[in-house]
Amino acid sequence: MSYQSNSDVKILYMGTPAMSAEVLQALLDAGFTVVGLVCQEDKEVGRDKVAEVVKTKQVALAHNIPVFQPHKIRLDFEFAKSLSFDVIVTMAYGQIIPQGLLDLAKVGCLNLHGSLLPKYRGAAPIQRAIMAGEKETGVTLMEMVAAMDAGKMYDKETFPLLEEDNYTSVCQKISLAASHLIVKDLLPYANGELSGEEQKEKDVTIANKIKPEDEHLPLFLSVTGTLNYIRALSEEPGAYILLNDKKLKIYKAHVENHDVIRAVGELVPAKKKLLVQLYDGQLSLDLVQLEGKKKMDGLSFLNGAHLGDHVLLK
């Protein structure tokens, strides 16, 4: 079958967070036909446990697109058998998609992965690339196969990782790059015009999921490594260190100098800056939040905390 226009291509879209919602919107704006959305379940937030509608679902409902939110997709995809679609497109769905569902697509299945494959396969490609101090990243449009992020690569879009970038800003760039790629390549893909390139297994690296314990900032890194770690978890969920057994989240920091005058992990006495000593220099903590308190700049925190000398962070 030959697809003459974008509207001829019927898509089952799978994705959950805000950056995935932007890609869904781009597909709709480009005139593609989305027959259904599969996303994660709405989550209860706040003290009142109010259900927060996931971002992709908001877009789908605004366009009268059927929404499916199975608890475990590998056990519950019967709904998809009643839909007629040519391509499955996924972007940050959040669950492993079973082969039985992939097989329902008439043409094939595409994934938009937030790294330059084969580097950073896995659940946290954006965070792990920032942590590693990479100078660039991007999006890979790839074939979906049973193995994790192992399919053929059809196209890539690359952009630089700037010093001021953090997880939040890079997610915005990823969504723009992903939107551009899928709108450009989906019709040619449906018509069999993209040949694709196999990944070289020797170049594969894995981007492991960020677990709650990973949010605890390791103080054995260099000042640059520590800064990259903070950037990778900002603004969500936020890396933290312990101050008197309370979590002190750090959302923004910079390398102040390469002086070594205190023990690693000690706050360095300074009048107008909140400085912490690392093995090869000092890091200025520019935006912080103590457990139970509001976010504030380092100086405001310093003035209000009344910390003594030789305060050790853990």
Q: Could you tell me the residue range of the domain that residue 260 belongs to? A: 212-305
Asked whether residue 154 falls in the same domain as residue 279, the answer is no
* Residue 1 falls inside a structural domain: no
Domain-embedded: residue 312: no
Residue 310 inside a domain? The answer is no
Asked if 144 and 61 sit in the same domain, the reply is: yes
pTM to 2 decimal places = 0.93
The predicted-structure confidence for 171-228, as pLDDT tens digits, reads as follows 999 999 999 999 999 999 999 999 999 999 999 999 999 999 999 999 999 999 999 9
**311 inside domain:** no
Whether residue 103 sits in one domain with residue 33: yes
CATH number at residue 16: 3.40.50.170
Encoded amino acid at 200, one letter: K
Regarding whether 195 and 145 lie in a shared domain, the answer is yes
Does some domain include residue 49? yes
**Would you state the pLDDT for residue 174?**
98
Half-sphere exposure (Cβ direction) of 80: Cα atoms closer than 13 Å: 30
Whether 256 and 277 map to the same domain: the answer is yes
**The CATH number of the domain where 273 resides is what?**
3.10.25.10
Do 46 and 79 belong to one domain?
yes
Tell me, yes or no, whether 314 lies in a domain.
no
- pLDDT (0 to 100) of residue 51: 82
Rounded CA separation 304/123 (Å): 39
Residue 220 shares a structural domain with residue 177: no
**Same domain for 220 and 100?**
no
- CB under 8 Å to 206, separation ≥6 — which residues? 120, 121, 122
Same domain, 120 and 54: yes
Residues 90 and 117 both lie in one domain: yes
Which of 179, 203, 227 lies at the terminal end of a domain, its last residue? 203
pLDDT digits (tens, 9 = 90+) for 1-57: 799 999 999 999 999 999 999 999 999 999 999 999 999 999 877 777 788 899 999
Q: What is the pLDDT of residues 69-120, one digit of tens each?
A: 999 999 999 999 999 999 999 999 989 999 999 999 999 999 999 999 999 9
Domain boundary among 203, 233, 265: 203
Q: Are strands 10-15 and 87-91 parallel, antiparallel or unpaired?
A: parallel
Domain count, the chain: 2
Residues 75 and 124 in one domain: yes
Claim to verify: residue 180 and residue 163 sit in the same structural domain? yes
Q: Look at residue 14 and tell me if it is in a domain.
A: yes
CB neighbour class for 213 (10 Å; exposed up to 12, middle 13-18, buried from 19)? exposed
Please give the pLDDT value at position 46. 72
Q: What is the pLDDT of residue 213?
A: 97
Closest by CA to 277, choosing from 257, 253, 248, 302, is 257
Which pLDDT does position 148 carry in this prediction? 81
β-pair partners for 250: 239, 288
What strands, in cross-sheet order, belong to the sheet with 108-113?
67-68, 33-38, 10-15, 87-91, 108-113, 136-143, 153-160
Asked whether residue 170 is domain-assigned, the answer is yes
pLDDT tens per residue, range 255-314: 999 999 999 999 998 888 999 999 999 999 999 999 999 999 999 998 888 787 788 888
**Single residue among 161, 185, 203 that ends a domain in this structure:** 203
Peptide bond into 237 cis (omega under 30): yes
C-alpha 203/C-alpha 71 separation (Å) is 34
pLDDT at 302: 87
Beta strand spans in the chain (E): 10-15, 33-38, 43-45, 50-52, 67-68, 87-91, 108-113, 136-143, 153-160, 239-243, 246-257, 267-268, 275-278, 281-290, 296-297
